Amino acid sequence: MTIPVAKCSSCGACANICARGAITMQLDKEGFYRPIIDESICSKCGACERACPWLKNVSNPNECSESPKTIAAYAKDEQVRLESSSGGIFSVLAEHVLDDGGVVVGVAQVAPTRFEHIFIENKADLSKLRGAKYVQANPGLIYRQARALLIDGRKVLFSGTPCQVAALYSVLGQKKFDNLWTVDIVCHGTPSVKLFEKFAENISRVQKSTLVSTEFRDKSTGWKAYSVSQRFNNGDRISEPYGKSDYMRLFLSRICQNKSCSDCKYRKLPRVADITLGDYWGIANYHPEMDDDNGTSVVLLNTNHGEKLFANVSENIKQCNSALENAIVGNPCIVRSSKENFRRLDFFADLDRLSMNELVEKYCVPLPLYKIVLLKMRNYVLKFFR
């Protein structure tokens, strides 16, 4: 493969398309999954390059609209809503597909610091897929598994980041399957696994017990003022406001995200999935009747195929029509990438050298203007010579 690291989104399309199994996704020095090729197996067929969503433009076979129908919504089931990051709409869609004998694909925490795509076939496992996971997930061979299920005639609801949805369509050869529905999220970038490992190690040392699981969007303190909660091996559970969490402070600064996230090909209109889901930030400004601080989703119905699925679950959802431009105000990542943090280069140079506390002290404190100017000038020069 010839794709540079700066353009690799870690989507895993290449590993899934390789008939010889010559490509595996492994963590690089920054903590992001990269394709590693076993040259002794590789036949140089070029299938991986042809499948890469960054080397070609992938679109939804169902033809996504440039002006999708926009809805503010949340699940009527308050327990589902409470356990979800925003309004619980993904769970409502998933339950419908599962009730119809289908399969749901999403990201689950499979180990204290590891997140992967899995598929589930019953509602008892749906809790594994609920909630935000602010760590890069390994897609494994999930697109290949989804393809096999679709060919067998199973109904599949696939959820992931925009680049992962693009990867699925690429592996499918952009073939249209009436038994497939895709959901992408309003993605703010995928953070480094290595950073989360450092965070887990640090908090385990402080608590004197091994971290077991993390809930990144605990809404017991409210949707807008959510907390980050962790469970430990000794049974303890701690929770702190997101603004006080060392990990969340670094994540929200965009300093630890994959380099390709600052130039994403699929954070734009038209979207690549049938349905796009996110938090409806700013909902109180446009639909105050939908704002009770328990979580409200913004829903973009990008295709007729997605709109039909949503219509099938409408009785389980409280909703109102909204305006796309209003949704974009609170979620600019619907239409564009976030700019790369100008201190990213230094941050990853320090990731192995500094402790978690030292990283926060160094990179979460505002710099004086002259240092900002000097760093941006340096980055420009480096980019020019590259």
The residues spanned by each domain of the chain are 5-51, 69-190+257-334, 193-256+342-385
Residues 6+ apart with CB under 8 A from 289: 320
Q: What is the pLDDT of residues 69-83, one digit of tens each?
A: 999 999 999 999 999
pLDDT value at 7 more than 80:
yes
* The predicted structure's pLDDT at residue 287: 98
The reported pLDDT for the residue numbered 368 is 66
Q: How far apart are alpha carbons 363 and 42 in whole angstroms?
A: 42
Q: What is the pLDDT of residue 372?
A: 65
pLDDT in tens, 307-340: 999 999 999 999 999 999 999 999 999 999 988 9
Confidence (pLDDT) at 367: 63
* Per-residue confidence (pLDDT) for residue 2, from 0 to 100: 60
Predicted local distance difference test score (pLDDT) of residue 325: 98
Please compute the mean of the pLDDT values over residues 108-132 and round it to a whole number: 97
In the chain, the percentage of residues whose pLDDT exceeds 90 is 92
Considering the four listed CATH numbers 3.30.70.20, 3.30.499.10, 3.40.5.90, 3.10.20.30, the one that applies to the domain covering 5-51 is 3.30.70.20
Mean pLDDT of the chain: 95
Whether the predicted pLDDT of 1 surpasses 60: no
**Is residue 283's pLDDT more than 90?**
yes
Convert the pLDDT of each residue in 228-242 to its tens digit.
Answer: 999 999 999 999 999
Least confident of 147-156, 260-269, 291-300, 374-383: 374-383
Within a 13 Å sphere around the CA of 10, how many CA atoms are in the beta-carbon half? 29
384, pLDDT greater than 80: no
For 134-147, write each residue's pLDDT tens digit: 999 999 999 999 99
pTM of structure: 0.94
